[in-house]
Amino acid sequence: MDKIVIEGGTVLKGTVKISGAKNAALPVIAACLLTGGRHQIHNVPHLKDIQTIRLIMSRMGVVFQEDEGVLSVSSDNLREFEASYDLVKTMRASILLIGPLLARLGKAKISMPGGCAIGARPINLHLKALAAMGVDMFLDRGYINAQTDRLKGASIFFDIPTVTGTENIMMAAVKAEGQTILKNSAAEPEIQNLADMLRGMGAHIEGDGTDTIIIDGVDDLRPAQHKIIPDRIEAGTFMIAATMTQGEITIEDCRPDHLPAVIEKLQSVGAGIEMTDNDLFIKGPDTINSVDIKTMPFPGFPTDLQAQFMAMMCIANGSSIIKETIFENRFIHVSELKRMGADISINGNQALVRGKDRLLAAPVMATDLRASASLVLAGLVAEDGRTEVSRIYHLDRGYEALEEKFQALGAMIRREKA
Which positions lie near ligand EPU, rule CB under 6 A? 23, 26, 93, 119, 121-126, 160, 162-165, 186, 303-304, 326-327, 369-370, 398
Is the CB of 312 or the CB of 369 nearer to ligand EPU? 369
β-pairing verdict for 107-111 and 143-147? antiparallel
Q: What is the CA radius of gyration of the chain?
A: 21
Label the pairing between strands 293-294 and 319-323.
Answer: parallel
Q: Which residues contact 1 (CB under 8 A, 6 or more apart)?
A: 390, 391, 392, 393, 418
Q: How far is the CB of 67 from ligand EPU (least distance, A)?
A: 26
Nearer of residues 315 and 373 to ligand EPU, judged by Cβ: 373
Q: How far is the CB of 355 from ligand EPU (least distance, A)?
A: 25
- Angle at alpha carbon of residue 335, lines to 331 and 336, rounded to 5°: 105
Residue 295 C-beta: closest distance to ligand EPU, Å: 8
List the Cα angle 247/251/253 in 5-degree steps.
Answer: 175
Q: At what angle do helices 260-269 and 232-244 cross, to 10 degrees?
A: 0
How far apart (Å, rounded) are the C-alpha atoms in residues 222 and 110?
25
CB atoms within 10 A of CB 11: 15
In angstroms, give the least distance from the CB of 110 to ligand EPU: 14
Task: State which residue, 39 or 370, has the beta carbon closest to ligand EPU.
Answer: 370
Q: Which is nearer to ligand EPU, 96 or 362 (CB)?
A: 96
Q: Contact at 8 Å (CB) between 98 and 125?
A: no
Q: How far is the CB of 29 from ligand EPU (least distance, A)?
A: 11
Q: How far is the CB of 119 from ligand EPU (least distance, A)?
A: 6
Given the residues 32, 116, 254, 314, the one annotated as active site? 116
CA atoms within 13 A on the CB side of 188: 26
For every residue of 270-324, DSSP letters joined together read T-EEEE-SSEEEEE--SSPBP--EEB-STTSB-GGGHHHHHHHHTTSBSEEEEE-
Nearer to ligand EPU, 329 or 335 (CB): 329
288 in Cβ contact with 244 (< 8 Å)? yes
Report yes or no: 106 and 150 within 8 Å, Cβ to Cβ: yes
CB of 103 to ligand EPU, least distance (A): 19
Give 391's Cβ-side CA count (13 Å radius): 13
116 is catalytic: yes
139/160 with CB nearer ligand EPU: 160
| Whole-angstrom distance, CA of residue 18 vs CA of residue 389 | 23
User: Catalytic amino acids?
Assistant: 116
